[in-house]
Amino acid sequence: MKKAVSVMVLVAVAALTIFCFGSIASAGEEVKMVGVITKIEIAGKDAKTATATLKDNKTEQLVVITVEDDLTLDKFKDHRIVEGDEIRCKYEVIDGKNVSKLFRKTAGC
């Protein structure tokens, strides 16, 4: 029954983050922004972390985002994401760093 219950709870509670990202960040602390990348800094092919500086479209402020997820790091490495790209980003402030939770190119149809 344990399984059936957990399945039911999941189904009932529906759109939960556990399902999407496996991240347990509480939604409240997340900051959302759209901005253009002005700089990407990554230390080589095996780097496990990188920073990207985004210019916030609304405030024109520069925001430094720390990126740790493999998929986005890979896109920095093979240049699928480059300076000048516009990004939709969600980040969370952890130990003074803006750690990216979502980092996606905006794109039209």
List 13, 21, 31, 39, residue binding another protein (CB under 8 A): 21
Per CB under 8 A, does 19 bind another protein?
Answer: yes
Do the beta carbons of residue 36 and residue 57 sit within 8 Å?
yes
Per CB under 8 A, does 47 bind another protein?
Answer: no
Supply the DSSP string of 22-88, one letter for each residue.
-----GGGEEEEEEEEEEEEE-STT-S-EEEEEEETTT--EEEEEE--HHHHHHHHTTSS-TT-EEE
Do the beta carbons of residue 100 and residue 23 sit within 8 Å?
no
Q: Which is nearer to another protein, 23 or 64 (CB)?
A: 23
Residue 102 Cβ vs another protein, minimum distance, rounded to whole Å: 9
Contact set with another protein (CB under 8 A):
1-4, 7-8, 10-12, 14-15, 19-22, 34, 36, 57-58, 71, 74, 78-80, 82, 86, 104-109
